Structure 1
């Protein structure tokens, strides 16, 4: 008999929201003041919680940076999308999950991503964290290309490294920022463009027709 999945109770949901509020507060302050000039007390005041709540919910100030990246993954629903992408065998579906992951990252986590992206230019610690996020993105691109190879759908003559680099650039946060803020595209249009462009670039002619 399959084990029943329990839904989170009210206390768990409140704890998750508190953690999210702390991370958002830290992101805002790190952006405004820099990592070194932001204290745990400052974050607690911005999030309207006690200092002890920060330590019990997230951890030290240094751990907040890692928590930002983990929280982004959860908010964007990446673990579930990645699981489905790993199980997919249809090439277009595999690419579709890649496009959806980037769309949900930008649509749901814009404030956190903008904070990290901005602060990375002026704070070495956050720059390291942001670089970690970029590395995760490239790893996801490589995974998508690997899945296409596994089902025999990658276009002949296109090597995996080149394909992964193209996926990473086309589905990057920077691309979404430009589409949305500079060109006024909505997220549906962005996702559709990313998906169609990757299909045309990556898939063998037999698959794309």
Structure 2
């Protein structure tokens, strides 16, 4: 558990520094100092500086508790529950990892390695929305006239990082309120009566 926490601390420290200083201007020594560990600890627990970028995305999934929610979503036979799980999954991602996600997006503007990692995260979001839409279609639950592509776009757009930031930061909503509103809105938009 301590090794996992140290790894997480290193990844979060790297995220902060990559965001502030840029990937190219951040050394492994800088990351070690920020995380409060030895340089060798970074190499033994995460790997190279380039590997840190990929590890950021992997760590985000772990911190947010994505794997069990995604598995439950695929097994669920209740369409409303599928939407609730999809919303919960993105809530946890944003509630627990918003700093990492916003930091990656910011740093992606100036660094190609981080841009590639951020693009991978964006692709994961779109693929997850598609899986949720496909599950709703498998259950025969989509509103008449709504196809899988439209449902996937709706899930992706409603549950994207910017939507969560706008609701919870710009408008000051609690994550509970935002989750309830997004889930009920998606149910009304996508599900048959």
- TM-score for both structures, normalised by structure 2: 0.97
SS of match in other structure, 2:31: helix
The residue aligned with 1:18 is: 6
Aligned mates of 1:153, 1:160 — CA distance in 2: 11
- TM-score for both structures, normalised by structure 1: 0.90
Q: Gaps spanning 5+ residues in structure 1: where?
A: 1-12
Q: Aligned runs of 1:154-165 on 2, under 5 Å?
A: 154-165=142-153
The residue aligned with 1:52 is: 40
The residue aligned with 2:65 is: 77
Q: Aligned runs of 1:1-209 on 2, under 5 Å?
A: 13-205=1-193
SS of match in other structure, 2:24: coil
SS of match in other structure, 1:180: helix
1:190 Cα shift? 0.8
Residues 127-186 of structure 1: CA deviation (Å, up to 9, x unaligned) = 111111111001110000011111111112112112111110000111011111111111
* Over 6 Å off, 4+ runs: none
Aligned mates of 1:125, 1:59 — CA distance in 2: 15
The residue aligned with 1:9 is: none
Q: Gaps spanning 5+ residues in structure 2: where?
A: none
1:98 Cα shift? 0.2
The farther-off stretch of 167-176 and 115-124 is 115-124
RMSD: 0.9
State the number of aligned residues. Answer: 193
> Which structure has the bigger radius of gyration?
1
